[in-house]
Amino acid sequence: MIIVTLDLCGLDLRLADEIAAEIERHTGISREGIMLNCSHTHNAPFTIPWYITGWRLFEKGMKPWRAELVKKIVNTALLAKLKLHEAKLFYGRAPVRIGFNRRLPTKDGVVMKPNLKGAIVPWVDVLWADGLDGRSIVVLFSHAAHPVIVHGASAMISADYPGFAVKTVRRKLGRKTIVMFAQGCGANINGEPLRGGFAAAEKAGKILGAAVLKAMRKTRPLAGTDLRFCTFELHLPFRKPPRPEVCAGELKKWQEKYDAQKEKNWYTHNMVLVLKELLKLSRKREKRYLKFAIHAFAVGKELCITGLTHEMFAEYQLWIDKISPFRHNMVFGYTNGCESYIPCAGDFVLGGYEAASFPTPCSALAYRNRLTLAPGIEKQINAGLKKTFQSFLSRC
């Protein structure tokens, strides 16, 4: 089994599959036992199928960079296999909060502002390995919040608050310790302050790093040495495409808006391109599905690490932590691909950026499939998670 963490916004499903296949080919590790988690920092190269102009650049203009990315990840995985150490595993959790739920209900609908009553994941999970000499070899920690504190305040490449948290932990444990951050289910949580800049991101990172170190104190080794993994794949249905005449009407509005602009706006341009693609989809009227994967790693009967594709709402992580048969749980979103938001049942009713339906401006128009997922996917995902845990129990 192998976990790779990346300071990237995400990976499209095809690229994630390509990386996993190459890791399997070079290391012999089954792709079912591979987790590729992205921190979802918004100050990183364009690596998810988001809108059209940026995605075209990544697919065509950045081919050498993309190939080098695959090569470096595979080489890192191979190096990790060659440097295996006998070690003791430890787990800890500590309370921490560096962000807020970003879906605020108002009389005009859900807006993207801090919702102090909304769901968050108010802790950091930490898994680390100590060598037989007692020195920490690697520390893996996870928290759920969008790394958007730098976002918009600078065009520089940055790991945002997770990078500063890693530095805080490494400064305490020493440079030889490998420190890794994995993003949790933070689709509806923003790190705060939004667009606050580097100083604010550093402050949040230090708070998170201090919580990691707190979690590492006064803990005991995990019992059991057997490592198991389980994968489960679902196909989540999208809503039916809007009628062609409705798409055509919206396209006409945006095209006229774009034509009237003296200085062409990238967002307006993207909306025109997106609506042209949506119009093609609406004319085909075919049923479309989103690949959704669950990857779970278990250490004995004590710890389970569950990796989920796409942008998962915090409620899924809270629910897994509640129903899992394992004593300890770590839950990652943005794992092995990211091509959609995954809202909960109630969010489809409320709407808002992450869960609205066409023609309301929403994230679904930006992602590759241009369609909002169909209500009912929460039950489908929860059933898949229960089957995953049952699979582990049947092998205990």
Q: What CA–CA distance (Å, rounded) separates 63 from 45?
A: 12
Cα 350 from chain centroid (whole Å): 22
302: left (phi over 0), alpha (psi -120 to 50) or beta: alpha
In a domain, 369, yes or no: no
Residues 33 and 173 in one domain: yes
According to DSSP, the β-strands at 311-312 and 289-299 are: unpaired
Residues 156 and 303 in one domain: yes
Residues 310 and 253 in one domain: no
Report the chain's terminal Cα–Cα distance, integer Å: 18
Residues 165 and 274 in one domain: no
In a domain, 324, yes or no: yes
In a domain, 148, yes or no: yes
The DSSP secondary-structure symbol of 32 reads G
In a domain, 356, yes or no: no
Residues 171 and 260 in one domain: no
Residues 45 and 178 in one domain: yes
Tokens of 75: 């080489």
Residues 216 and 316 in one domain: yes
Looking at residue 218, its pLDDT comes to 73
In a domain, 67, yes or no: yes
Supply the pTM of this predicted model.
0.95
- Number of domains the chain is built from: 2
In the chain, the amino acid numbered 319 is W
Question: Average pLDDT per run of 10 along the chain, which is 396 residues long?
Answer: 96 97 95 96 93 90 93 96 90 96 95 96 96 91 98 93 98 95 98 96 98 91 86 96 95 96 92 95 93 95 96 98 96 98 95 89 91 95 95 74
Residues 273 and 189 in one domain: no
Residues 249 and 295 in one domain: no
In a domain, 30, yes or no: yes
In a domain, 389, yes or no: no
Residues 103 and 120 in one domain: yes
Closest CA to 295 of 326, 337, 328, 323: 337
Tokens of 351: 């709407």
Cα 77 from chain centroid (whole Å): 20
Closest CA to 11 of 79, 64, 53, 66: 66
Looking at residue 254, its pLDDT comes to 96
Residues 168 and 278 in one domain: no
In a domain, 122, yes or no: yes
Domain that holds residue 254: 241-284
Q: DSSP string covering 83-112, please?
A: T---EEEEEEEEE---EEEEEEEETTEEEE
